[in-house]
C-alpha cells in the first residue's frame, strides 16, 4: 500500500521500562505495550526525497481495482451485511459533478448494519449526513504526499464538514481520504464532524482541511477511536471540546497548526498512544482538561513543544520520545514539555533530545527540556535528556505544592 505507517523509535522501549521502576508515584495504569522499531526510511529522508517511503503493493492495486462493482466483501467488518456501491446510486468518481445526493442515497439504502463501498475515484461532496449503524469503506492507498485512489473532496465553499456524523452511532469509516481544500473555503470546516455521536471508528484514513479547521472534530461524543490514519495540514489533527472515551492510536499527525491534538472544555478519559506527532504547532495541547493519558508517542519538531498543558488535572505522560521540539525561541516556547497550573499529574520515563532541523536548518532546539509553573500534587520524575537542551534541563518558575521533581537527568547539547 502507498502508505507510511506510524513508527515509534525503539528508544521508547527503554523509556517505557524506565516508567515502570523507581520510587512511590502516582498510579501509572496500563501504559505498557508493544513498540515497533523505527523505519529505516527516516522522516528527514522522506521529506528530502519528496517520495512516499512505501510503494503500491500488488495487493493494494488488485484490491483497489476490485472496489469497482462492490467486490471487497472479504474486507467487510460485518459478516453478511448488506453491501451497496455508491456508483449504483449515481456517484461518479471520474467527473467534478456533485456526489453528495448519490452518497446520501447509498447510505440510506445500506440500512442498519450495511456497508457502502467507494470505488476508485474522487467524489465531490460536502456535509454528507451519515446515519447510524453503517460502514463507509474503501481501500487504503494513501501516501506521504498523495491522497490515494479514493477521495472525498469538498465541492461547496460554505461547507462546514465533509462527513457529518451528528447524532450518529455505530459508524466505521475505513480506507478513505478526505480533502477539505481549505484555501478556497469561506468558513471553518471539519473533515469528519462528531457531535452527540457514539461508538465511532475512523481507521486507515488520510484527512486534511487545508488549515481551515480540524481533521476530526469531537463534541459531546463517546467511544471514539481514530487509528492508523494520517491527519495533516489542518488546524488540529483532532479537536475535542467535550465527550469521553477517546482513543488516538498509531496515527501520523503532521503539519497541524496550532496543534496535532487539542483538548479543551469537558473532554475526558482520552488516551493518546503510539502516534507520530511532528511539525505541528504543539504536539498535544491541553487546556483545563482532566483524565488524559499520553503514552509511547513520538514528538518531532513541533514549534512550541511536544506537550503543553495549562490548567487541568489527572494527566499521565509516560514513556514518550521527544526530539528537536521548540524551534520557536520566543518567550517560553522552546521546550519539549510545558506545564502551568496543573494538578495531580505525572510526567515520567520520557526521553528528550535537542537536534537541529532538516537539511540546511541549523536551528538546534529546544532551549529547555522542561518548563514548570505552579504545579500541585504532581510528579516529574525519572526523565532523561541526553544532549536534551541548549540552555537548561529544567526551567522552574516555582509556586508548586505537594509536587516531586527528582531524578531527571540530562546533558547539554
Query: Which tens digits make up the pLDDT trace of 325-340?
Result: 999 999 999 999 999 9
Instruction: Identify the domain containing residue 385 by its residue range.
Output: 1-66+274-413
Q: What is the pLDDT of residue 79?
A: 53
**Residue that finishes a domain, picked among 194, 225, 240:** 240
Counting residues of the chain whose pLDDT is more than 70, the rounded percentage is: 81
pLDDT tens string 141-178: 888 888 888 999 999 999 999 999 999 999 999 999 99
What's the maximum distance between 2 C-alpha atoms anywhere in the chain? 65
**Whole-angstrom distance, CA of residue 123 vs CA of residue 134:** 19
State the pLDDT at residue 140.
Answer: 80
Query: Is residue 41 located within the same domain as residue 109?
Result: no
Residue with cell 483524565: 291
- Residue 371 lies inside a defined structural domain of this protein: yes
Q: Are residues 55 and 92 in the same domain?
A: no
Is residue 16's pLDDT more than 80?
no
Distance from C-alpha of 169 to C-alpha of 157, rounded to nearest angstrom:
28
146 found inside a domain: yes
Check whether residue 234 and residue 293 sit in a common domain: no
- Kindly report the number of other CB atoms within 10 A of residue 278's CB atom: 24
Which of 205, 51, 78 lies closest to 134, judged by CA? 78
- Dist CA 76 CA 280 (whole Å): 34
Point out the least confidently predicted range of 5-19, 188-202, 341-355. Answer: 5-19
Position 268 in a domain: no
Task: Write down the pLDDT at residue 71.
Answer: 43
- Do 5 and 47 share a domain, yes or no? yes
346 and 392 assigned to the same domain: yes
Same domain? 98 vs 235: yes
Question: Does 280 share its domain with 232?
Answer: no
52 and 116 both lie in a single domain? no
CATH of the domain at 101: 2.160.20.10
Whether 292 maps to a domain, the answer reads yes
Could you tell me if residue 51 is inside a domain? yes
Name the DSSP letter for residue 284: E
The yes-or-no verdict on residue 35 having pLDDT over 60 is no
- Lowest-pLDDT range of 46-50, 102-106, 205-209: 46-50
| Count: domains in the chain | 2
Q: What is the pLDDT of residue 247?
A: 95
CA 326 vs CA 185, 275, 371, 372: distances in Å: 30, 19, 12, 15
- Final residue of a structural domain among 184, 215, 240: 240
Q: Please give the Cα distance from 206 to 262 (Å, whole number).
A: 18
Read off the pLDDT of residues 220-256 as tens digits, 9 standing for 90 and up.
Answer: 999 999 999 999 999 999 999 999 999 999 999 999 9
pLDDT of res. 14: 40
The mean per-residue pLDDT over the stretch 392-406 comes to: 98
- Say whether both 186 and 314 belong to one domain: no
Whether 267 is covered by a domain: the verdict is: no
| Radius of gyration (C-alpha) of the chain in whole angstroms | 22
Binning pLDDT at 50, 70 and 90, where does residue 78 land? low
Is the domain of 173 the same as that of 316? no
For the residues 373-395, what does the mean pLDDT come to?
97
Are 83 and 224 contained in the same domain? Answer: yes
Cβ 406 vs Cβ 383: under 8 Å: no
Residues of the chain above pLDDT 90, percent: 77
Is the residue at 245 inside a domain?
Answer: no
In a domain, 247, yes or no: no
**Does 225 lie in the same domain as 304?**
no
Amino acid at each position: 500500500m502507498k502508505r507510511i505507517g506510524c513508527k515509534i523509535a525503539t528508544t521508547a522501549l527503554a523509556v517505557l521500562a524506565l516508567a515502570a521502576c523507581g520510587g512511590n508515584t502516582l498510579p501509572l495504569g496500563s501504559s505498557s505495550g508493544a513498540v515497533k522499531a523505527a523505519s529505516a526510511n527516516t522522516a528527514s529522508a522522506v521529506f528530502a526525497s519528496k517520495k512516499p517511503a512505501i510503494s503500491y503493493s500488488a495487493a493494494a492495486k488488485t484490491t483497489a481495482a476490485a472496489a469497482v462493482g462492490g467486490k471487497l466483501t472479504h474486507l467487510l467488518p460485518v459478516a453478511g451485511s448488506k453491501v451497496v456501491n455508491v456508483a449504483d446510486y449515481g456517484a461518479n468518481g471520474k467527473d467534478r459533478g456533485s456526489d453528495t445526493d448519490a452518497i446520501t442515497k447509498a447510505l440510506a439504502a445500506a440500512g442498519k448494519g450495511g456497508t457502502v463501498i467507494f470505488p476508485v475515484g474522487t467524489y465531490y461532496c460536502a456535509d454528507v449526513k451519515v446515519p447510524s449503524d453503517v460502514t463507509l469503506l474503501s481501500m487504503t492507498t494513501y501516501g506521504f504526499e498523495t491522497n490515494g485512489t479514493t477521495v472525498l473532496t469538498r465541492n461547496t465553499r460554505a461547507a462546514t464538514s465533509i462527513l457529518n456524523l451528528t447524532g450518529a452511532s455505530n459508524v466505521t469509516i475505513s480506507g478513505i481520504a478526505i480533502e477539505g481544500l481549505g484555501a478556497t473555503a469561506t468558513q471553518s470546516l471539519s473533515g469528519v464532524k462528531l457531535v452527540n455521536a457514539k461508538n465511532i471508528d475512523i481507521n486507515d484514513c488520510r484527512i486534511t482541511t487545508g488549515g481551515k479547521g480540524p481533521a476530526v472534530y469531537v463534541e459531546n461524543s463517546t467511544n471514539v477511536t481514530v487509528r492508523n490514519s494520517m491527519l495533516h495540514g489542518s488546524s488540529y489533527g483532532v479537536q475535542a471540546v467535550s465527550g469521553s472515551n477517546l482513543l488516538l492510536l498509531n496515527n501520523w499527525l503532521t503539519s497541524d497548526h496550532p496543534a496535532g491534538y487539542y483538548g479543551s472544555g469537558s473532554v475526558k478519559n482520552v488516551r493518546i498512544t503510539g502516534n507520530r506527532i511532528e511539525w505541528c504547532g504543539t504536539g498535544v495541547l491541553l487546556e483545563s482538561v482532566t483524565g488524559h493519558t499520553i503514552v509511547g508517542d513520538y514528538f518531532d519538531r513541533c514549534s512550541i513543544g511536544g506537550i503543553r498543558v495549562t490548567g487541568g488535572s489527572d494527566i499521565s505522560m509516560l514513556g514518550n520520545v521527544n526530539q528537536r521540539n521548540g524551534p520557536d525561541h520566543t518567550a517560553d516556547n522552546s521546550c519539549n514539555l510545558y506545564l502551568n497550573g496543573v494538578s495531580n499529574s505525572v510526567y515520567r520515563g520520557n526521553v528528550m533530545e535537542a537536534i537541529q532541523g532538516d537539511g540546511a536548518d541549523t536551528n538546534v532546539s529546544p532551549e529547555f527540556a522542561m518548563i514548570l509553573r505552579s504545579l500541585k500534587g504532581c510528579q516529574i520524575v525519572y526523565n532523561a535528556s541526553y544532549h536534551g537542551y541548549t540552555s537548561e534541563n529544567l526551567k522552574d518558575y516555582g509556586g508548586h505544592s505537594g509536587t516531586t521533581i527528582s531524578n531527571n537527568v540530562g546533558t547539554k547539547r
